[in-house]
Amino acid sequence: MSIQTSPKKNILILGGSYGGISTAHYLLKNVLPKLSGPGPYEVILVSASSQALCRQACPRALISDDFFPQEKLFVDISSMFTKYPDGRFRCLHGRVTAVNHTKRVVSINLSSGQEESIDYHALIIATGASTPSPALGLNNDVPQLRSSWAAIRKVLPTAKSIVVAGGGPAGVETAGELGEYLNGPPRWLSSRPNPPKVDIKIVTSTTNILPVLRSEIAQTAEKYLAKVGVTVIRNVRVKKAEPSIPGEDKNDQIAVPTTVTLDNGQVLETDLYIPATGTTPNTGFLEEMLLAPDGRVETNRSTLRVEKAGMRVYAIGDASSFSRPTVHSIFQAVPILCANIKRDLLLSHGATEAETGEDSIFKEDTREAQLVPIGKCKGVGAVMGYKLPSFLIWLIKGRDYFLWTTVKLWSGEQWTK
Ligand SMILES: Cc1cc2nc3c(=O)[nH]c(=O)nc-3n(C[C@H](O)[C@H](O)[C@H](O)COP(=O)(O)OP(=O)(O)OC[C@H]3O[C@@H](n4cnc5c(N)ncnc54)[C@H](O)[C@@H]3O)c2cc1C
């Protein structure tokens, strides 16, 4: 295996989702065209998935392809970059297996089966995080996601019980969507379908679901969930979940009857078990010394540099420790990250600090913010510390789970200055 070097300086971006695609467009539109001296640069985006996904839509999209136009839900990444001049951008479909930050080389297992190593002048880590359920994001590529959806869809017509582990937004949204789909929409005068066609339970280790939001909002969420046949078991953790088909192949176990044991001794037999208990950062290809204790890349929260990895290495998105894992944090951070990359590229070309100016600084917005649809017409949430009515949650997110925002995002139009 040879290391691919070229006269061009490579700006390598790992991960083809909100963080990686946004950074690539921003650099190609707003940074590289303005750097007349240094370079030439090539932006190379490496992604385990050839398509970008509106990840927020997964809780509804997993139920049926009829709920979203599929050509908007999944978008081919390469085709979003054809507008840039030849030689400026390349997309590689493959999985990063190692980063040697001393030699500044990334190893990639391409989807074709070939191994490739590429050196970098600058590196941006944006490989996100995986969910315990393969149905809630691109842990791998689109075919694996679709096969997990197919397995779930197959059991829905006959399921009598569902357990969702995790009372965060992913768990609540998934339970709410399944509740409305299987038990019917909420009725005005009824607090809960009696009896619900399918018994759906959320198991949460916290006192309230949606712990990022104030308890009053969480209680409203529980009321809406009850209307679609979802109950909440609180202050208890899932100790183990044993699928009726044992073995190593997790794909066979996605939608099979499962025995769920809680840490208070209670045992739940369920036809479908969906774990939504947080995420695991996709950072296994990095040396441990670059990681924070929670597995995310240890990132300077102001400048987005990964200082322990050497010059011109950055991290953004769910793989990074820069902020809470949200799309709006990424949007806030992209211009700052790219301004600091620009500054560092100029410095490496001999510019002085006086010429480049100071670092741009990211400051996380820590105000209460989360929008949680519960089925197609209800929802709870807050933005910038203000509680929003159910109607606004529907308008902003619940009607199509932000699919209205992704056309501009994936095409890069969002970053046109
Ligand atoms: C069900 C659900 C609902 C959500 N809803 C919201 C919401 O409403 N609002 C909000 O703000 N946030 C929401 N989030 C969080 C949001 O989805 C994440 O913050 C966002 O997806 C992070 O984007 P990212 O670019 O960091 O990485 P990800 O979206 O996780 O994508 C990572 C990309 O990197 C690729 N990759 C991974 N490993 C490798 C590797 N080794 N080599 C190459 N490529 C690799 C993957 O294929 C993927 O394309 C939700 C999350 C989930 C799970």
Token representation of residue 46: 């490496």
Question: Of all protein residues, whose CA lies closest to atom 23 belonging to ligand 1?
Answer: 18
State which H helix or E strand residue 327 sits in. helix 327-348
pLDDT (mean) for 336-340: 98
Residue type, 365: D
| Spatial contact of 25 and 337, defined as CB atoms under 8 Å apart | no
Residue nearest to atom 49 of ligand 1 (CA): 16
Phi, psi for 374 (deg, rounded to 5): -125, 95
Best CATH choice for the domain 142-276 from the list 3.50.50.60, 1.20.20.10, 3.40.50.1100, 3.20.20.70? 3.50.50.60
Query: Quick one: pLDDT band at residue 252, thresholds 50, 70, 90?
Result: confident
pLDDT value for 3: 55
Tokens of 143: 């075919």
* Pocket lining: 60 vs ligand 1, CB cutoff 6 Å: no
Distance between Cα 52 and ligand 1 center (Å): 10
The pLDDT score that the predictor gives to residue 70 is: 97
pLDDT at 5: 54
Q: What is the best residue among 46, 282, 304 to mutate for testing ligand 1's pocket, by most ligand atoms within 8 Å of CB? A: 282
User: Does ligand 1 come within 6 angstroms of the Cβ of 16?
Assistant: yes
> Among the atoms of ligand 1, which is closest to the Cα of residue 319?
26
Distances from the Cα of 253 to the Cα of 198, 257, 276, angstroms = 20, 9, 15
- Can you name the CATH fold of 3-131+279-365? FAD/NAD(P)-binding domain (3.50.50)
3-state secondary structure 199-213: EEEEECCCCCCCCCC
In the predicted structure, residue 296 carries a pLDDT above the cut 80? yes
371: buried, middle or exposed (CB in 10 Å: 19+, 13-18, 0-12)? buried
Q: What is the pLDDT of residue 1?
A: 52
3 state SS of 217:
helix
Q: DSSP state, 99?
A: E
pLDDT for residue 246: 74
Query: Which residues in the chain are classed under CATH 3.50.50.60?
Result: 3-131+279-365, 142-276
